Chain A
Amino acid sequence: MFKKILIANRGEIAVRIIRACRELGIASVAVYSDVDRNALHVRKADEAYAIGPAAARESYLNLEKILAVAKKSGADAVHPGYGFLSENAAFAEACDKAGVKFIGPTAAAMNIMGSKTSARRAMEAAGVPFVPGSSKGLTLDEAASVSEKVGYPVMLKAAAGGGGKGMRLVASAAELKSAYEGASSEAARAFNSGEVYIEKYIDRPRHIEVQVFGDEHGNVVYLGERECSVQRRHQKVIEEAPSPIVDAEMRSKMGATAVQVAKAAGYTNAGTVEFLVDAQKNFYFLEMNTRLQVEHPVTELVTGLDLVHLQIQVAAGKKLPFKQEDVVLRGHAIECRIYAEDPDNNFFPSPGKITRLMTPSGPGIREDSGVYEGWNVPLDYDPMLSKLIAYAPTREMAIGRMLRALDEYFVAGIKTNLALFRKILRDADFCAARIDTGYLERLLSARSKTLPSSADDLKIAAVAAAIFAMNGSGTNGAAAAKNGTQSSANENGAWKKTARQEALR
């Protein structure tokens, strides 16, 4: 087993991995940029090293600096977390050369999955289902025959492209010619290549992904699926496990396919195979994420496993301690990604100082957080603050539990998207699991934007504001103490409060 692990990341995931190291009796090494000296992960780790300026490419993305810290600290393994260097094959290779174990797949497996075309070639060879269409550029005549074969509607896509440029939805054969010419010339202007290919258009697809895990002895298992259809601009907002539409038969089919994908790439450690699922529950391979996912806690709760512990054990050369048939799903878990952003102002990021933070607890609530009261959320990185996860025997109970936890959650000083989750979790379509990747955008553009407020609550808010004003205009309660209404509850200080919270985790 490893003696010391360097965590090449920051925020909640760095804290999450440091906790696992502590649990396993492994020393942890944190790295931090200039703006992260006071970040939570620095003080939770056993050792911490400064790695330079706030800009990620000069700190968290700088492999030389991180490897230098690995050498200096004597770490024998590196955990990359998610984002930053986690899917960087060159980094995995450099770790290998430096004699430090990279906790994740091999560089070779990452390379196969890193490029869409090479992934598609490898997966087609392994017989993995793709969205029907062509895998290469087409002439107009070829496009017509492919469209005929897969059936309208179809999507025209730029072979060299992305970001929506050179894309056209074609509803029928009559529209094909003008759409082809439009997409092709747009692609030529944007990417210097007018090559376009065709995919069957999938109306209102779901995004469902399968967690896989491989050891270095050829064993690969799947750990159930996650439903991640609630997205905004391709960013997941809520994830849950299991998916409400996946039954045992579909799960074993998707799982077997995911394992096949992993095996075709010679995959080891934790990975996620993403699928698009259509209304008839056909599923198509989208891509493989070669890292631990943000949303891994929902899988942990329903499987009872600790994926970070497993990652470390497997990277140390141990065999998976269980077989596929030992994996049993139990209950339902939902995760909300809490961001420092303002849902009332087009989700604009809201960095700054957290002046007040009260977090929920109680049955079935887990919070993986990277922040604390008094922390100044830097503007240089992803604005995710924390992940709130509710676990209960059924989906309905998990929704009720999450709503309860959201009511206990209070953040002051910065804007957060907490109110958005209340809205989603109370929405009839979400509660009935009628969700797809376009669901959230539709909900947000729907007219009735918020719940009507009660006149009584408005009046209570006014009275409360007057009481606060009378007690003193400062934002701390010091002035209120003069009025004799202040108890000693806040005199214990943040130090004791944090200790208490930690004890509860």
Chain B
Amino acid sequence: MTYDITVTAKDGQTQTFSVELSRAKDSDKLICRVNGEEFNPGLDSQNPERDVLSVLVGSRSYEIHRDGSNGEMQIQVGGTRYTVEVRDPRSLKARRAKAGATDGPKKISAPMPGKVVRIISPAGTEVEAGQGVIVIEAMKMQNELKSPKKGIVKKIMVAEGATVNAGDALAIIE
């Protein structure tokens, strides 16, 4: 299996790797190539607990945690978190994403449970990328959700005052 993986660190550093994985014959070990180069002297990965990997690169040991909730994957190596995006180059979705991230309709979803306090840009409004569309409130704090792209607000799926859950689709920008 080959994956294109983009890793973003908290300091903004971003790097994309092509990771090729296959299982070695007669052993649990993985054969892993990163950008065409084989990991030397081999890679031993175990999944001892849910969302936890124990990875040995040679004798160097890494404890790795995964947070795959809220629509994005985060990988924690030691105490440091990275946001990762995994694309299988063979999938249609990945090829589409590559063609241009701002093509097609984009949805705005609730990053946390809360209450819709205001709709700034009702359906039909022209918006710039980064322009506020909906304000939601949780724990007495208000958060403005912004348009991911330049376009027109196609649809608002919630009414002011509605209670929403994390991940709920709130609006479509086309």
Comparing B101-109, B127-135, B136-144, the segment that makes contact with chain A is: B136-144
Q: Which residues of A contact B47 (CB under 8 A)?
A: 467, 471, 477, 480, 483, 485-487
> A449 touching B79 by the CB < 8 A rule?
no
> B53 touching A350 by the CB < 8 A rule?
no
Question: Does residue B170 face the partner (Cβ distance < 8 Å to A)?
Answer: no
| A-B CB pair tally, cutoff 8 Å | 182
Most chain A CB within a 10 A radius of its CB, from B49, B79, B143 = B79
**Cα distance A457–B15 in the bound complex, in angstroms:** 11
Question: Does residue B68 face the partner (Cβ distance < 8 Å to A)?
Answer: yes
> B114 touching A466 by the CB < 8 A rule?
no
Contact-residue size bin, chain A (C-beta under 8 Å from the other chain): 35 or more
Chain B residue nearest to A418 (CB atoms) is B79
Q: Interface size on B (CB < 8 Å)?
A: 59
Question: Does residue B55 face the partner (Cβ distance < 8 Å to A)?
Answer: yes
> B81 touching A419 by the CB < 8 A rule?
yes
> A465 touching B50 by the CB < 8 A rule?
no
Digit string of B111-131 for contact with A (CB within 8 Å is 1, else 0)? Answer: 011100000000000000000
Comparing A95-103, A119-127, A322-330, A406-414, the segment that makes contact with chain B is: A406-414
Q: B116: shortest Cβ distance to chain A, in Å? A: 13
> A461 touching B75 by the CB < 8 A rule?
yes
Q: Which residues of B contact A379 (CB under 8 A)?
A: 112-114, 138-139
Q: Which residues of A contact B7 (CB under 8 A)?
A: 458, 461-462, 465
> B65 touching A460 by the CB < 8 A rule?
no
> A490 touching B9 by the CB < 8 A rule?
no
Most chain B CB within a 10 A radius of its CB, from A356, A413, A490 = A356
> A467 touching B21 by the CB < 8 A rule?
yes
Q: Which residues of B contact A355 (CB under 8 A)?
A: 67, 69
> B80 touching A453 by the CB < 8 A rule?
yes
A349-B139, A413-B69 known; A460+B3 contact, CB < 8 A: no
Q: A455: shortest Cβ distance to chain B, in Å? A: 8
> B30 touching A467 by the CB < 8 A rule?
yes
Question: Does residue B73 face the partner (Cβ distance < 8 Å to A)?
Answer: yes
> B80 touching A477 by the CB < 8 A rule?
no
Q: Which chain A residues in 339-386 approach chain B with CB under 8 Å?
A: 344-345, 348-353, 355-356, 358, 379-383
Contact of A356 among B50, B64, B77 (CB under 8 A): B50
> A484 touching B28 by the CB < 8 A rule?
yes
**Cα distance A461–B32 in the bound complex, in angstroms:** 13
Question: Does residue A450 face the partner (Cβ distance < 8 Å to B)?
Answer: yes
> A352 touching B21 by the CB < 8 A rule?
no
A419-B10, A489-B48 known; A464+B53 contact, CB < 8 A: yes
Digit string of B56-77 for contact with A (CB within 8 Å is 1, else 0)? Answer: 0100001011111110011111
Question: Does residue A165 face the partner (Cβ distance < 8 Å to B)?
Answer: no
Q: Which residues of B contact A351 (CB under 8 A)?
A: 112-114, 138-139
Q: Which residues of A contact B48 (CB under 8 A)?
A: 486-487, 489-490
**Cα distance A118–B82 in the bound complex, in angstroms:** 53
Most chain B CB within a 10 A radius of its CB, from A412, A455, A467 = A467
**Cα distance A458–B83 in the bound complex, in angstroms:** 10
> A489 touching B49 by the CB < 8 A rule?
yes
Contact of B69 among A344, A407, A451, A475 (CB under 8 A): A475
Question: Does residue B11 face the partner (Cβ distance < 8 Å to A)?
Answer: yes
Q: Which residues of B contact A467 (CB under 8 A)?
A: 21, 30, 45, 47, 53, 55
Question: Does residue A152 face the partner (Cβ distance < 8 Å to B)?
Answer: no
Contact of B11 among A449, A465, A486 (CB under 8 A): A449
Q: Which chain A residues in 469-505 approach chain B with CB under 8 Å?
A: 469-471, 475-477, 480, 483-487, 489-490
**Cα distance A461–B114 in the bound complex, in angstroms:** 32
Q: Which residues of A contact B70 (CB under 8 A)?
A: 352, 413
Contact of B77 among A353, A451, A461, A471 (CB under 8 A): A461
Question: Does residue B158 face the partner (Cβ distance < 8 Å to A)?
Answer: no
Q: Which chain A residues in 206-260 approach chain B with CB under 8 Å?
A: none
Interface residues of B (CB under 8 A from A): 1, 3, 5, 7, 9-11, 13, 15, 17, 19, 21, 23, 28, 30, 32, 34, 39, 43, 45-53, 55, 57, 62, 64-70, 73-82, 84, 86, 88, 112-114, 138-139, 141, 143, 166
Could you list 24 examples of A-B contacts with CB < 8 Å?
A: A348-B138, A351-B138, A356-B50, A356-B51, A410-B76, A413-B67, A419-B10, A450-B9, A458-B15, A460-B55, A462-B84, A465-B5, A465-B7, A465-B84, A465-B86, A468-B66, A470-B21, A471-B47, A476-B50, A483-B23, A486-B47, A487-B46, A489-B49, A490-B49
